[in-house]
Amino acid sequence: MTAQLDHADVLIVGGGQGGAQTAISLRQLGFQGTIAIVGDEPEPPYERPPLSKEYFAGDKTFDRLHLRPAAYWSEKAVALITGETVVRVDPESREVETASGRRMSYGVLVWAAGGSPRRMTCEGAGLAGVHAVRSRADIDAILAELPGVTRVAIVGGGYIGLEAAAVLRKFGKAVTLIEAQDRLLARVAGPQLSAFFAEEHRARGVDLRLGVGVDHLEGVGRVAGVVLADGERIAADLVIVGIGITPNVAVLEAAGARTTNGIDVDARCRTSLPDVFAIGDCVNQASRFAGTGRIRIESVPSVTEQAATVARELTGQGRDHDALPWFWSNQYDLKLQTIGLSGGYDQEIVRGDPAARSFSVVYLREGRIIAVDAINAAKDFMKGRAWVTNGATAEVLAT
Ligand SMILES: Cc1cc2nc3c(=O)[nH]c(=O)nc-3n(C[C@H](O)[C@H](O)[C@H](O)COP(=O)(O)OP(=O)(O)OC[C@H]3O[C@@H](n4cnc5c(N)ncnc54)[C@H](O)[C@@H]3O)c2cc1C
């Protein structure tokens, strides 16, 4: 018996933020062809940012995370195929195959497969009670265990680890956060912001361990503690691992797509394969806002813009992707908004008063503003957009 073969004019792999937005933008721009989204999660497309914020904290129910109501997809004639993992792409015959053996052909393929949480590889990493924070399933598993948990260890001092720490303190759990670098947010922000967040988390009772790695996890069946590289043992009934993601590129790479820390795409989000686009957390793209030239960005605004870029290209309105990156993070009553990319900065200027908990850190490279981290300072975030776009000098900070 031959497996069922379906066809979509635009076949989107990945039913997350980028996959959903591609279909939404295509219909908004009047695309009349057939569209299918194949995703491996059981749910229709939902937004991830609340997973470590409002959904984790119990302030939003899951139905409020859906990117569109269930009826939208049928009304707009977007076929949603959930619970199917694409394991093979054949760019010659323009076919994909899923793990269950289902085959589909495409006119255009959009790869929006995001990333998988990086796992620890040390002894004990596979014990029960060790969790990532990437999907609804991850958070539901943590929430199910929390009533029996008093001590949580978080590995990783990036946004996700810090947001999780803030929620867990709200729940009254004892929290130890372990970061191998000597400061928090080291990959994305300068030392001034790191110091501010370290102070805030300490003041709320988070036990921060900076500059020390994890040697192994211990426990019998279930995790009971984290043993640090310096030999110290941190007791923990639950461990959250927030050490970044690995972009999901393997299937497309095996099909011949060029990759460098993500799938290489051009300014229209085209991969090196014919009629195959890629967007989101799994792609590497040139950006005039990145000092390094090319960058892989993990953010909702970025993938939303890339999805629109693909939709425009497929409806004869093509325009290069040239969006100024921005990000946000909520921790306690602190709203951090970032505009631009601070990588490669050579000067940091603090504007406002960190003690008043409303200030910003402005990053410059060769005298030009390249990024702004605004903490409870929405006006600076808004002004920052113009500053970064225009490559303003520090003189504008007097305004
Ligand atoms: C906890 C958390 C908090 C975040 N907070 C923020 C924030 O505050 N602000 C912000 O801007 N960004 C935030 N982000 C990042 C943001 O959610 C991502 O940048 C965005 O979701 C990327 O969209 P994407 O479509 O590339 O990937 P995703 O949304 O991850 O979607 C990819 C989908 O593809 C599926 N998939 C993977 N491989 C296959 C396959 N082979 N076959 C079928 N399906 C597959 C995945 O399971 C997933 O459903 C956060 C992310 C997380 C996890």
Report CA(382)–ligand 1 centroid distance (Å).
26
Q: pLDDT by residue for the chain (399 residues), tens digit each?
A: 344 559 999 999 999 999 999 999 999 999 999 999 999 999 999 999 999 999 999 999 999 999 999 999 999 999 999 999 999 999 999 999 999 999 999 999 999 999 999 999 999 999 999 999 999 999 999 999 999 999 999 999 999 999 999 999 999 999 999 999 999 999 899 999 999 999 999 999 999 999 999 999 999 999 999 999 999 999 999 999 999 999 999 999 999 999 999 999 999 999 999 999 999 999 999 999 998 789 999 999 999 999 999 999 999 999 999 999 999 999 999 999 999 999 999 999 999 999 999 999 999 999 999 999 999 999 999 999 999 999 999 999 987
Residue 74: Cβ within 10 Å count: 10
Closest CA to 158 of 360, 329, 280: 329
Kindly state if the Cβ of 158 falls inside 6 Å of ligand 1. Answer: no
Report CA(115)–ligand 1 centroid distance (Å).
7
Report CA(39)–ligand 1 centroid distance (Å).
12
What's the pLDDT at 399?
A: 74
Tokens of 294: 């090319």
Atom of ligand 1 nearest to the CA of 51: 1
Atom of ligand 1 nearest to the CA of 329: 8
Helix (H, G, I), strand (E, B) or coil at 301: helix
List all residues 6 or more positions away from 331 whose beta carbon is below 8 Å from its beta carbon: 162, 163, 165, 166, 197, 200, 201
Do residues 41 and 14 touch, judged by C-beta distance below 8 A? no
- Burial track 205-221 (b if 16+ CB lie within 10 A, e otherwise): ebebbbeeebbebbbee
Closest CA to 347 of 362, 325, 331: 362
Nearest CA to ligand 1 atom 12: 299
Do residues 129 and 144 touch, judged by C-beta distance below 8 A? no
Report CA(246)–ligand 1 centroid distance (Å).
11
- Say whether pTM exceeds 0.85: yes
List all residues 6 or more positions away from 324 whose beta carbon is below 8 Å from its beta carbon: 289, 339, 340, 385, 388, 389
Q: What is the CB-side half-sphere exposure of residue 171 using CA atoms within 13 A?
A: 25
Nearest CA to ligand 1 atom 5: 49
What's the pLDDT at 293?
A: 86
Nearest CA to ligand 1 atom 6: 49
List all residues 6 or more positions away from 367 whose beta carbon is below 8 Å from its beta carbon: 347, 393, 394
Cα–Cα distance, 332 to 60 (Å, whole number) = 16
CA quadruple 101, 104, 105, 108: dihedral sign: negative
What's the pLDDT at 5?
A: 59
Provide the β-strand partners of residue 347.
364
Do residues 136 and 163 touch, judged by C-beta distance below 8 A? no
Report CA(223)–ligand 1 centroid distance (Å).
27
Kindly state if the Cβ of 50 falls inside 6 Å of ligand 1. Answer: no
Kindly state if the Cβ of 251 falls inside 6 Å of ligand 1. Answer: yes
Cα–Cα distance, 138 to 133 (Å, whole number) = 6
What's the pLDDT at 398?
A: 86
The full 3-state SS of 97-130, as one line of letters, equals EECCCCEEEEEEEEECCCEEECCCCCCCCCCECE
> Ligand 1 pocket check: which of 43, 46, 299 to mutate, most ligand atoms within 8 Å of Cβ?
299
Entry field: residues in the chain: 399
Kindly state if the Cβ of 52 falls inside 6 Å of ligand 1. Answer: yes
What's the pLDDT at 4?
A: 55
Cα–Cα distance, 399 to 396 (Å, whole number) = 6
Report CA(175)–ligand 1 centroid distance (Å).
26
- Residue 4's Cβ-count burial label (10 Å; 0-12, 13-18, 19+) is exposed
Report CA(48)–ligand 1 centroid distance (Å).
6
